[in-house]
């Protein structure tokens, strides 16, 4: 859907975990939508359960763009917490050296899954001063205290709103009970660590603070980075459902406790990816990394298709049959778009969308704008494929109609991100994979990552595309 730049964004509604029902999305600043996404804990390769969360968030950002918003997404990298410190100690390498390969792998995996890059990926270790400043504000507001060992805790009983996101019943809370770990269950609700005093298990991971040497708790990291990049109040905060408690509850408490303002207007959480009915997780050992699956011969877009083909609030069961089915479905869409390109070869510059196709656009948009119903949006796309194939077969689709339907498929794919347009489109657009690499290269150049820019150029050459850098950016030509 090509939007006129001044048109208001289309109405979109989302299920807001804070109020437990769907709400029309209203952004704080007109066309801008500001989103914070809890990113990976870089102590290992992310598994595809994690990527269910990141693809859901990608669909959210893409949908907002498609609806006419300008999206500002921030995704943090948790590179200091209980798990990363434990991992680096076990591996016998400094923390940064331990986490860096997992950061690099994460970015490579995002590209493989055609997940659009966030605007910023702040790392926790680069924001310790902001975390310290935030803890000082909590002290000033009577919400933080020292424990005997020099750690600093958040005083849950001093914030009446505590529990409002996870809907906790705090009547049984034992006041003064404390929990030092980053992750814990609802049964352990209690004062949680904002700053952990150094102990031998931290090795050389420590920062100076007004409370002595130590390191931040996990939750304060996201409060500090979210507010630094998006302001004290922003639109959306997302994560997997396991982030809801304690992580998001604690983030909310710290942020609102410090500022006295609402932290986030809409909280969105995706359900888990499962294997045989159980959450896919590192601790259960029932996980696949993206690399495992690529090594089995599956393509990134096939896995992306599997991950988006379920409503994000419903658990999704991972099976190899689903990946096989994704391959078949994608081949059907690719073939359709190629047939359209062929039929559109003599199209005039003014493509005309037939009425029957416009009806599917309405179905697609309605499904997507109603809390990101991707399965229904895909059903609309397949109905379009079916009817379009029939029209092509009966040669009743004129070239201008074929060009318009192909542009519609490309438009749907701005959100879905799965179609492989085998050749340049009727309107000269690049194949999706090529466009994705060119965009990644643009970002690499912008951030002066020349080695990555060169690597992407080589990858484009392998795909048969030459890229040249000029005054107006990159020029791409089929070799």
Q: Does 307 bind ligand AMP (CB under 6 A)?
A: no
Nearest approach in angstroms of CB 391 to ligand AMP is 39
Q: Does 50 bind ligand AMP (CB under 6 A)?
A: yes
Identify which range of 46-54, 61-69, 185-193, 432-440 contacts ligand AMP by CB under 6 A: 46-54
**Binding partner at 222 among ligand AMP, Zn ion, none, C-beta below 5 to 8 Å by kind:** Zn ion
Residue 385 dihedral angles phi and psi, to the nearest 5°: -60, -45
Q: Encoding tokens for residue 156?
A: 């849950």
The residue among 69, 89, 67, 68 whose CA lies nearest residue 80 is 89
Q: How many whole angstroms separate alpha carbon 250 and alpha carbon 171?
A: 18
How many residues bind Zn ion (CB under 5 A)? The answer is 2
Q: Does 40 bind ligand AMP (CB under 6 A)?
A: yes
246/310 with CB nearer Zn ion: 246
Per-residue contact flags (x/-) with ligand AMP for residues 192 to 231, judged by CB under 6 A: ----------------------------------------
Per-residue contact flags (x/-) with ligand AMP for residues 267 to 306, judged by CB under 6 A: ---x-xx-----xxx-------------------------
Q: How many whole angstroms separate alpha carbon 426 and alpha carbon 421?
A: 10
The C-alpha angle with vertex 263 and arms to 187 and 68, in degrees rounded to 5, equals: 120
Which of 12, 25, 49, 306 touches ligand AMP by CB under 6 A? Answer: 49
**Binding partner at 417 among ligand AMP, Zn ion, none, C-beta below 5 to 8 Å by kind:** none
**Binding partner at 425 among Zn ion, ligand AMP, none, C-beta below 5 to 8 Å by kind:** none
Which of 222, 307, 407, 415 touches Zn ion by CB under 5 A? Answer: 222
- Residues 153/142, Cβ–Cβ less than 8 Å: no
Q: Which of residues 4-63 bind Zn ion (CB under 5 A)?
A: 38
**Binding partner at 242 among Zn ion, ligand AMP, none, C-beta below 5 to 8 Å by kind:** ligand AMP
Binding footprint of ligand AMP on the chain (CB under 6 A):
38, 40-41, 49-50, 52-53, 239-240, 242-243, 270, 272-273, 279-281
């Amino acid at each position: 859907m090509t939007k006129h730049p001044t048109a208001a964004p289309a109405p979109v509604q989302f299920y807001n975990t804070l109020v437990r029902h769907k709400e029309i999305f209203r952004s704080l600043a007109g066309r801008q939508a500001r989103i914070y996404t809890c990113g990976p804990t870089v102590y290992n390769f992310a598994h595809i359960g994690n990527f269910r969360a990141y693809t859901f968030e990608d669909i959210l950002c893409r949908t907002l763009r498609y609806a006419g918003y300008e999206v500002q997404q921030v995704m943090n990298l948790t590179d200091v917490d209980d798990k990363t410190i434990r991992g680096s100690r076990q591996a016998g390498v400094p923390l940064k050296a331990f986490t860096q390969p997992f950061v690099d792998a994460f970015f490579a995996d995002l590209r493989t899954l055609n997940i659009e890059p966030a605007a910023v990926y702040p790392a926790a270790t680069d924001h310790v001063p902001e975390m310290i400043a935030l803890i000082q504000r909590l002290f000033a507001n009577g919400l933080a205290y020292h424990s005997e060992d020099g750690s600093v805790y958040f005083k849950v009983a001093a914030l009446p709103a505590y529990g409002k996101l996870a809907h906790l019943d705090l009547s049984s809370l034992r006041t003064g009970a404390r929990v030092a770990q980053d992750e814990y269950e609802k049964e352990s609700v209690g004062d949680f660590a904002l700053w952990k005093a150094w102990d031998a298990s931290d090795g050389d991971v420590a920062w100076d603070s007004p409370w002595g040497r130590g390191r931040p708790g996990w939750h304060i990291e996201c409060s500090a980075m979210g507010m630094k990049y998006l302001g004290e109040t922003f639109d959306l905060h997302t994560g997997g459902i396991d982030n809801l408690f304690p992580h998001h509850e604690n983030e909310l408490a710290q942020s609102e406790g410090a500022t006295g303002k609402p932290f986030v207007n809409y909280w969105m959480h995706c359900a888990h990816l499962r294997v045989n009915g159980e959450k896919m997780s590192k601790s259960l050992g029932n996980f696949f990394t993206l690399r495992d699956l690529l090594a089995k011969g599956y393509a990134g877009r096939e896995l992306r298709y599997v991950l988006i083909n379920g409503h994000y609030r419903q658990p999704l069961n991972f099976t190899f049959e689903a990946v096989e089915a994704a391959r078949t479905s994608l081949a059907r869409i690719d073939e359709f778009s190629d047939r359209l390109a062929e039929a559109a070869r003599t199209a005039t510059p003014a493509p005309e969308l037939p009425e029957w196709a416009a009806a599917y656009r309405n179905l697609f948009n309605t499904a997507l704008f109603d809390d990101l119903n991707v399965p229904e949006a895909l059903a609309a796309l397949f109905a379009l494929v079916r009817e379009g194939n029939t029209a092509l077969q009966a040669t009743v689709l004129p070239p201008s109609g074929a060009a318009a339907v192909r542009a519609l498929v490309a438009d749907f794919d701005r959100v879905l991100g799965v179609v492989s347009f085998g050749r340049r489109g009727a309107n000269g657009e690049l194949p999706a994979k090529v466009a994705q690499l060119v965009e990644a290269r643009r970002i690499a150049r912008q951030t002066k990552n020349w080695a990555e820019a060169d690597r992407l150029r080589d990858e484009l050459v392998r795909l048969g595309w030459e890229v040249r850098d000029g005054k107006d950016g990159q020029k791409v030509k089929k070799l």
